[in-house]
Amino acid sequence: MLSGNTLKTLLAVLLLLGTRQYALAQDAIERLWYNEEKTAKIQIFKATDGKFYGKIVWLKEPNNEEGKPKTDKKNPDKAKRANPIMGLQMLKGFKKDDATHYEDGTIYDPKNGKTYSCKITRKGDLLDVRGYMGISLIGRTTTWTKAD
């Protein structure tokens, strides 16, 4: 039979090993990123469907002129225009193609209320985020930087 202290030590070691395994299993894209203007931080995470998503978790200016939280006022769905920008899921459904490429996702731009096809390329501590319509040649790339 294990003593109380031995059992506690064993549990602590198992917990640390489990945490280390989780950290090793985490994808390099799963972290906080600044948008190009550094006006927002986006948390990218892997969902249970195995795809990657991103939501706004910080805004440099979270409130509008009246001091109320900024809302998604350009959303084409009128019912969503009162939703706050903070917490907005702007990246959806990315599949990992290889070690640095993520494809088949979409990006929503709350500045104009439009959703674009999107692909992401990780370059170390940078992400090239390319939104496009139709083919990727007709689009725009912004560079996000690691925030954490």
Q: Are 118 and 104 in contact (CB under 8 A)?
A: no
Which strand (E) or helix (H) includes residue 84?
none
**Is it the case that residue 21 has pLDDT exceeding 90?**
no
The position carrying tokens 């195995």 is 50
Amino acid at 69: P
Average pLDDT, the chain: 88
Note the pLDDT tens digit of each residue in 91-120.
999 999 999 999 999 999 999 999 999 999
Tell me the percentage of the chain whose pLDDT exceeds 90.
Answer: 78
- The predicted model scores a pTM of 0.81
